[in-house]
A and B are shown apart, each in its own frame.
Chain A
């Protein structure tokens, strides 16, 4: 099974700052099939990024992502108040389609 390790566990930043979230896989992810999700308290997750770097429909361009093989990242350029949330990466290159443990982006 592919284990995804996200770092850091918590990121404390101020609005307007840049956030960089990391996701490391225990083995190479087939076709770089990695997605990123945002989850706010009490809500279902929502898709941000798929295929490692493609923004989902309606996602602002301050969200960008990159990576290949085992190392992937999500960058939020200029944090907005609504961006403070928990972010998860997921690999769908091979079953089981595992999630990382999440990174919480909190207001400093």
Chain B
């Protein structure tokens, strides 16, 4: 059974840094794109960042671009989110999720992941105050 477990959430002061981790098991990590999604208290889901299976292709929301860095270590089946220059508005529960599906383009050489969120972790809480 696919499982994702986030860790690293904490209380941090504005301007501080934090590194979140997401340990994956039960599926082929190297062929899954991965994402971070956050949810402020009482709020809606907000997509934060995604990266491809190899880690070569990354995407960020405008709200975190330049401050957050997504990465992965496929040797230990773990996804990371390095967060710098944290703001009060970054306070949220952070979820990781996998995206195992995709397609090849017409050339048959380029693979494009479908960044919907299949399996979710339970999340880890980041409080900036």
Contact = CB atoms under 8 A, between A and B. Distances in A.
A84 interface: no
Interface residues of B, number: 24
A92 B44 CA distance: 17
B70 to A, nearest CB: 13
Q: How large is the interface on A (under 10, 10 to 19, 20 to 34, 35 or more residues)?
A: 20 to 34
Interface in B44-71: 44-47, 50, 59-62
Given A37-B117, A50-B116, A95-B59, A44 B122 contact: yes
A1 B65 CA distance: 14
Contacts, number: 65
B95 interface: yes
A12 interface: no
Contact of A99 (B44, B59, B114, B120): B44
A46 interface: yes
A56 to B, nearest CB: 7
Nearest to A90: B116
A95 B64 CA distance: 14
Contacts of A35: 116-117
Interface string B87-129: 0000000010001010000000000001111111111000000
B36 to A, nearest CB: 11
Nearest to B63: A96
A33 B112 CA distance: 13
B50 A99 contact: no
Nearest to B61: A96
Contacts of B119: 47
A92 B121 contact: no
Given A45-B95, A95-B59, A100 B118 contact: no
B47 A98 contact: yes
Given A50-B101, A95-B50, A97-B47, 17 more contacts: A1-B62, A33-B114, A35-B117, A44-B95, A44-B120, A47-B118, A47-B119, A56-B118, A88-B44, A88-B45, A92-B99, A92-B114, A97-B35, A99-B45, A99-B46, A100-B44, A102-B44
